[in-house]
Amino acid sequence: MTRAQQTISIALLFTSLYLAVFMELVRFPDKIQKEIVPVLPFWALVSFGSYLLFKLGWGVFTFNDVPEAHKELMAQIQQARAELRAQGVDVGRD
């Protein structure tokens, strides 16, 4: 089973469980059924968005600068400029 199939299967499982509760095929006390169950999809969406924002922020926070990659990139830029100049292209300043 691929990861996409697994994700779709889990999503369908949760969707069917939610619909069974929402359509009152599975009963809960009235307070839960009327006040909590209708807002569960919104709560899940906000929670998932918060999780993704946290992961993005953590990735930015823990981003490591790599001096070797910077040096390699600068060398490639210099090489590309030299090749373009050899072909008569104006590439601007160094």
Note the pLDDT tens digit of each residue in 38-56: 999 999 999 999 999 999 9
82 confidence band (pLDDT: 50, 70, 90): very high
CB 27 within 8 A of CB 33: yes
Q: 0.75 exceeded by the pTM?
A: no
Q: Output the CA–CA distances (angstroms, integers) from residue 57 to 43, 50, 62, 63, 88, in the order listed.
A: 21, 10, 9, 10, 44
Domain boundaries, the chain: 3-63
pLDDT value of residue 70: 81
